[in-house]
Amino acid sequence: MKRYFVMPYLITLLLASVYGVYAFFANDWEFAWLGLTLSCLPMLLFIIRLGISGKARTREHLYSELLVGAVFTLAVWVSGHRDLAGLVFLLSVVGVYLYDFWYSDLSRVLSPRLGKGEILPDLRFTTIDGEDFHTKNVVDRPAIFMFIRGNWCPLCVAQVHEIAQSYRRLEDMGASVFVISPQVQEQTQKLAADLNAPLTLLTDKDGESAKKLGVWQYGGVPAGVVGYDVDTNWPTVIVTMPKGKIIYSAQYASYRVRPEPDQFIEVLEKYLDDGADASNDTEVVPSAE
C-alpha cells in the first residue's frame, strides 16, 4: 500500500502548484490560487532536496511543513474559497502528515538476532566480481555491515559516501566495511565506481541474508522506481567484533533517520581502547520518539 503513495503524491503536488500559478493569473491575481501553489512548495522542495542534497538523513518530523499547510489553509478559507481551502488542506496538511508519520515509518520490529552480545550468523553474499562471499571468513577483525535499500534511495547512497569518507579512520582501527543491497550486480558496480574508498560492496540475492537477520522489507521500493525488485532491505547498520559478536545495531523506524558515522565509530573506539566485553557496549537504536 505504502509503495503506491509517494510518486502519485509528488506528481499531484507538482500539478497543483503549476495550476495554482495559471489560475492566479487567469483570475486577476486572486490570492487564493497563489496560496494553493505556495502551500505545495514546502513539501515539493523537501522531496526534491531529498534527492539532490547528498545528505544521508533529514529532520525526524516535518512540523514546519505542516504549519505552513495549516496557515495557507486558513488564509484561503478566510478569502472565501472554501472548496479550494479543502484542497489546500488535503495536499499540504493531510498529505504531509501521511508522508511524515505513515509513509516514512518502516513499521519495523527490532530484530532479536541483532541484540546485545548476539553472534552474527554466517551470511552468504556475492561480490561485484560475481564471487561467493561468506562472513565467516572475515570474523577475525572488527566489521561494519551496512544494509542499504539500493542506488534508487538517495539517503542510502549518501550514507555510503559518508562511511567512505571515514574509511581511513576505520582502516587504522583494523575494521572492515561491507555495504549490502539486494540490487543487481550492475547497479552495485556503478555505486562502487563512484566511491573514493575501497569499501566491499556485496549483493544479497533475493534478500536471503537480510531475511535471516530480520531486516527485510516487503514492498519497500516505491511504485514507479524502474530497474529494481519490489522488496528491499530495511536500512540497518551492524557493528561486530572478532568472532562476530554484535556490539551495535542501528534499526531506526523511519527511513529518513539514520546514525551518523561517528556514532558507531565511537563504539568501535571505546571497545578497542578499553578492551571491554562486547555485551556491555551494545547499543540497539530504535526510532527516536
**pLDDT digit string (tens) for 86-137?**
999 999 999 999 999 999 999 898 999 999 799 999 999 999 999 999 999 9
Tell me what pLDDT residue 39 has: 97
Percent of the chain with pLDDT over 70: 95
Tell me what pLDDT residue 279 has: 42
Contact 116, 282 (CB under 8 A): yes
Set of cell numbers at residue 241: 567484533
Tell me what pLDDT residue 286 has: 45
Q: Which residues contact 256 (CB under 8 A, 6 or more apart)?
A: 50, 57, 58, 59, 60, 104, 155
Confidence band for 283, pLDDT divided at 50, 70 and 90: very low
Contact 133, 180 (CB under 8 A): no
Contact 240, 253 (CB under 8 A): no
Tell me what pLDDT residue 280 has: 42
pLDDT at 65 exceeding the cut of 50: yes
Low-confidence winner among 118-127, 141-150, 216-225, 280-289 (lowest mean pLDDT): 280-289
Q: What is the mean pLDDT of the chain?
A: 92
What's the mean pLDDT in 3-12? 96
Confidence band for 30, pLDDT divided at 50, 70 and 90: very high
Tell me what pLDDT residue 198 has: 86
Q: What distance in Å separates the CA atoms of residue 255 and residue 100, rounded to the nearest whole number? A: 10
pLDDT at 277 exceeding the cut of 80: no
Confidence band for 276, pLDDT divided at 50, 70 and 90: low
Tell me what pLDDT residue 152 has: 96
pTM exceeds 0.85: yes
pLDDT at 213 exceeding the cut of 60: yes
